A and B are shown apart, each in its own frame.
Chain A
Amino acid sequence: MKLEGKVWRYGDNIDTDVIIPARYLNTFDPVELAKHCMVDIDETFAVNVKAGDIMVGGKNFGCGSSREHAPVAIKASGVPVVIASSFARIFYRNGINIGLPLLEIGDDVEKIHANDILKIDTSTGTIEDVTNGEIFRAHPLPEFVQEISKAGGLINYVKSKGDLG
């Protein structure tokens, strides 16, 4: 998948409580969740985000609760991919399972700034920062995980195979 979009830049340890606060967890409607995405640290995000924009965070992105509402809210905001130095484990699984690509690039993330334009090829993991000319490579995904991605998420994967394996 080839993507191009503008960066929303956040810091380290962005937790699932700020991605989608618990007071909005009484629904699982993606559109409703997207309305409140990031609101506690960035009120402008939900209002101004455009389909195709890219979210970039620092270390341990998505730490905290297991709520899949968090990656769902990001995806429903129109963000097609999240890049971070590292991801929290459950968030990472959830992203893979719902078909939201997550690219881990370590310290290189520091070279990406707010409002930069990125060109991304998710199949090779190549990220080009058009604004400053830098090129980064994400850690490759394990084969099994790529298969889940290709199927469009874990539910479709299980449906097509009739079992998990």
Chain B
Amino acid sequence: MAMNMSEKILARHAGLESVEAGQLIICPLDLVMANDVTGPPSIKEFEKIGKKVFDSEKIALIPDHFQPAKDIKSADLAKSMRDFSRKNKIKHYYEAGRVGIEHVILPEFGIVGPGMLIIGADSHTCTYGALNAFSTGVGTTDLAVGLATGKAWFKVPEAIKVNLSGKKPENICGKDVILTLIGKIGVDGALYKSIEFVGEGVKELSMTDRLTISNMAIEAGGKAGVFPFDEVTKEYIEGRFSKDYEPATADDDAKYSSVVEINLSELKPVVALPHLPENVKTVESLEEIKIDQVVIGSCTNGRLEDLETAAKIFKNHKVNEKVRCIIIPGSQAIYKEAIHRGWIDIFIDAGCVVSTPTCGPCLGGYMGILSAGERCVSTTNRNFRGRMGHVDSEVYLAGPYVAACSAIVGKIADKI
């Protein structure tokens, strides 16, 4: 039976010839992941089951959300995860200074790769679909069961085919692609479904673009956002991912519940207005929107290429005097390389705050919380009410290009 990429990965793991949408299956997992917010409660639930961890090498526990600890309760959470990791010899546990944002470092460290089946107690676990994995977010209880049994139950999702064509213009990045898609299909447009990105346009997209796009599949309600394996994937995993792997390729006559066409050549820089990622407008269509803060970072856009985009724009320019601009590299390696390439100098000379890797303001944790009535252009993935601070603050989602231009101009802009 013809299968799409998601079905192929699920069938292979379930030990079945084929699976089809709607089928309930139980699968062994290649990786189980949690962070300092979801890990500690998962550990508590795990302990109720009374079993040992299924495989200490297939578990990743990443302290990134509120770490380095923002307060005593967060320090307690981190400690419970640290103690658990040491006791159970968890291979992929890292201390502050050797860590970064989970969805940035797992690909970077070569912990995730093609064809893998992954669950993570974090909704943006779908990020690894960029590497041709089937990877999805779950809650505390699923994670606890994953830690104990190495398995999860899945309902095989229907899949939406996103057919990419055309050439990507200079000022367009992965964020514009995914925001445009979410603007088209809505925040529940892919509910219970996986999104598969195919077509000629795929090769136009760098791994950074793909990671950004897969990252936000959940913002359309998607269970996963999967890219095919190609030269770009191969080049990215080379020297990082050392396990054997089997990429998943969709059959020519694979079933899809619907098809969405996106011509990259026609894309314009966009933003998602408050308070939903589907409120997508082109920057050129907006009236003047003055801003107070810009955040460039997160698991969506905290990678080297994102910082490069920002550095090119900030070079010889200053952040607008009425704006705070906070830049957070996604990992230590990215931070270091950005220093090495002189970008951190550019940011600091422009008047930006530069921080150690953390989720920080993305989820309204710390390091840039908004006051009532303040407006922020952010390269993060959610602009829900109150997401980055006060319930009456506003978040405008954008790519690093628009974010950096906006920081300089002082209002939402796609040029300086």
Residue contact A17 to B140, C-beta cutoff 8 Å = no
Minimum CB–CB distance for A2 against chain B, Å: 25
Residue contact A67 to B38, C-beta cutoff 8 Å = yes
Residue contact A159 to B49, C-beta cutoff 8 Å = yes
Cβ–Cβ < 8 Å partners of B187 in chain A? 13, 60, 63
Q: Does B77 contact A (CB under 8 A)?
A: yes
CA distance A90 to B223 in the complex (A): 8
Minimum CB–CB distance for A97 against chain B, Å: 4
Mark the stretch among B149-157, B206-214, B301-309 that contacts chain A: B149-157
Q: Does B251 contact A (CB under 8 A)?
A: no
Nearest-CB residue, chain B, relative to A165: B26
CA distance A159 to B45 in the complex (A): 11
Q: Does B24 contact A (CB under 8 A)?
A: yes
Do A155 and B191 form a contact, CB below 8 Å, given A67-B37, A144-B24? no
Scan residues 1-56 of chain A and give those whose CB is less than 8 A from a CB of chain B: 13, 15, 17-18, 21-23, 25-28, 40-41
Do A86 and B191 form a contact, CB below 8 Å, given A18-B384, A158-B49? yes
Residue contact A22 to B365, C-beta cutoff 8 Å = yes
Scan residues 131-165 of chain A and give those whose CB is less than 8 A from a CB of chain B: 142, 144, 153-155, 158-159, 163-165
Q: Max chain A CB contacts within 10 Å: which of B66, B223, B276, B387?
A: B387
Minimum CB–CB distance for B149 against chain A, Å: 5
Cβ–Cβ < 8 Å partners of B137 in chain A? 66, 90
Residue contact A88 to B138, C-beta cutoff 8 Å = no
Residue contact A155 to B38, C-beta cutoff 8 Å = no
Nearest-CB residue, chain B, relative to A60: B188
Scan residues 38-58 of chain B and give those whose CB is less than 8 A from a CB of chain A: 38, 40-41, 44-45, 48-50
Cβ–Cβ < 8 Å partners of B155 in chain A? 142
Write out, one digit per residue, whether chain B residues 210-227 have a CB within 8 A of any chain A CB (1) or not (0).
000000001001010000
Residue contact A26 to B66, C-beta cutoff 8 Å = yes
Residue contact B385 to A41, C-beta cutoff 8 Å = yes
Q: Does A123 contact B (CB under 8 A)?
A: no
Cβ–Cβ < 8 Å partners of A86 in chain B? 188, 191
Q: Does A93 contact B (CB under 8 A)?
A: yes
Residue contact B139 to A60, C-beta cutoff 8 Å = no
Cβ–Cβ < 8 Å partners of B140 in chain A? 28, 68, 94
Classify chain A: how many residues form its interface, as a range.
Answer: 35 or more
CA distance A144 to B385 in the complex (A): 36
Q: Does A109 contact B (CB under 8 A)?
A: no
Minimum CB–CB distance for A7 against chain B, Å: 22
Scan residues 159-192 of chain B and give those whose CB is less than 8 A from a CB of chain A: 187-188, 191-192
Q: Does B148 contact A (CB under 8 A)?
A: yes
CA distance A59 to B189 in the complex (A): 11
Minimum CB–CB distance for A105 against chain B, Å: 15
Do A88 and B49 form a contact, CB below 8 Å, given A67-B38, A164-B26, A165-B26? no
Nearest-CB residue, chain A, relative to B152: A164
CA distance A40 to B50 in the complex (A): 38
Residue contact A22 to B152, C-beta cutoff 8 Å = no
Residue contact B139 to A67, C-beta cutoff 8 Å = yes
Nearest-CB residue, chain A, relative to B22: A142
Do A26 and B77 form a contact, CB below 8 Å, given A13-B188, A98-B141, A158-B145? yes
Q: What are 28 contact pairs spanning A and B, CB under 8 A?
A: A17-B386, A21-B386, A22-B364, A25-B65, A28-B140, A60-B191, A60-B221, A63-B221, A66-B120, A66-B123, A66-B137, A66-B138, A66-B139, A68-B139, A68-B141, A69-B41, A88-B188, A90-B123, A93-B138, A97-B141, A144-B24, A154-B145, A155-B141, A158-B145, A159-B48, A164-B145, A165-B26, A165-B153
6 closest Cβ pairs, A-B complex:
A68-B139, A94-B139, A26-B73, A97-B141, A68-B140, A60-B188
Which residues does B use to contact A, with CB under 8 Å?
24, 26, 37-38, 40-41, 44-45, 48-50, 65-66, 71, 73-74, 77, 120-123, 125, 137-142, 144-145, 148-149, 151-153, 155, 187-188, 191-192, 218, 221, 223, 276, 363-365, 382, 384-387, 391
